[in-house]
């Protein structure tokens, strides 16, 4: 079986993440300690104990999710006696998870990934003033319908001005997340409901990610990534922006900048990995969001989550 390791994005964080892993495995504690030291913050304490409102802050959630994913990976490699490059055909990550995927594949070292994600979280949070932007989930739609709803919602009927409302995440399984100016996103929700969309709801997020309003954050990341050392990954990464393999450092750098404002093409990424021969998806890190999406987008493939000591034991058994 050809295996893809996939790495979760923001929204999967939860207090307690990584705590049982740190208690059971010294190598996991090393990962958490290294991230704490890099960020000059007791991020691991926040991960293990909360409070949830502080962990959910974008600047904390992004490096925290990466840290947990890399701790899981290091335990898998240590306990299973293998290297990722020996057992895994492809890696991919949802939004910030792409940084975890690249770090797992050796394109970034752990400290670089932590620093970049802290900068990315801060830049995305600061790109838009509070209350100006919003995101919403449309359930029971495909991408083409979601884009058509956004096009209709973009024009303010009172001023005739165009506002930003775009598809942020094409997750597949009838789930598309939209992002942009709050007023335009609210119009899109009402249009979706009038069109008989199964469900349309504003999401409790702090900023409108993956849309044109994130351009200031993309500028910040262009400079930060330009100064970062990026190596060719040991296995190809399937990029959010293109839903295609990337392995050249210059291309990876460009794609990570573009990713800040572009749609996360997760449905197409899963399809691309299946087309490239992957028939098994293992979600490395917190939660089971990508496991569920893999089951919906690639029902013929196997999918399992790996974030706890019990999960690690199950995955290692399945790899023997």
Catalytically active residues are 95, 210
What phi and psi, each to the nearest 5 degrees, are found at residue 57?
Answer: -55, 135
Q: How far is CA 226 from the centre of its chain?
A: 21
Q: How far is CA 239 from the centre of its chain?
A: 11
How far is the C-alpha of 280 from the C-alpha of 3, rounded, in Å? 5
How far is the C-alpha of 114 from the C-alpha of 177, rounded, in Å? 26
Q: Residue 18: which of 317, 314, 318, 312 has the closest Cα?
A: 312
CB-based contacts of 94, cutoff 8 Å, min separation 6: 6, 7, 8, 9, 169, 240, 264, 266, 289, 290
């Amino acid at each position: 079986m050809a295996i893809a390791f996939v790495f979760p994005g923001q929204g999967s964080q939860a207090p307690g993440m990584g705590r049982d892993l740190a208690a059971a495995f010294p190598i996991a504690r090393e990962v958490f300690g290294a991230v704490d030291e890099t960020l000059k913050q007791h991020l691991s304490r926040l991960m293990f104990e909360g409070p949830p409102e502080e962990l959910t802050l974008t600047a904390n959630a992004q490096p925290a999710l990466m840290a947990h994913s890399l701790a899981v990976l290091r335990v898998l490699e240590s306990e299973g006696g293998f290297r990722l490059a020996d057992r895994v055909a492809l890696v991919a990550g949802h939004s910030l998870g792409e940084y975890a995927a690249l770090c797992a594949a050796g394109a970034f070292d752990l400290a670089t990934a932590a620093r970049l994600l802290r900068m990315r979280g801060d830049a995305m949070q600061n790109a838009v003033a509070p209350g100006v932007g919003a995101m919403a989930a449309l359930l029971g739609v495909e991408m083409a319908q979601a884009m058509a709803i956004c096009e209709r919602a973009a024009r303010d009927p009172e001023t005739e001005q165009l506002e930003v409302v775009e598809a942020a995440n094409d997750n597949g399984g009838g789930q598309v997340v939209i992002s942009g100016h709050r007023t335009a996103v609210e119009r899109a929700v009402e249009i979706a409901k009038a069109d008989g969309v199964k469900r349309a709801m504003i999401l409790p997020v702090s900023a409108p990610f993956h849309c044109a309003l994130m351009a200031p954050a993309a500028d910040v990341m262009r400079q930060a990534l330009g100064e970062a050392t990026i190596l060719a990954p040991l296995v190809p990464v399937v990029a959010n922006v293109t839903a295609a393999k990337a392995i050249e450092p210059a291309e990876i750098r460009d794609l990570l900048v573009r990713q800040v404002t572009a749609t996360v093409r997760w449905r197409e990424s899963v399809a691309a990995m299946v087309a490239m021969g992957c028939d098994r998806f293992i979600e490395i890190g917190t939660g089971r969001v990508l496991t569920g999406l893999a089951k919906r987008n690639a029902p013929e493939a196997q999918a399992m989550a790996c974030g706890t000591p019990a999960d690690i034991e199950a995955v290692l058994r399945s790899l023997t």
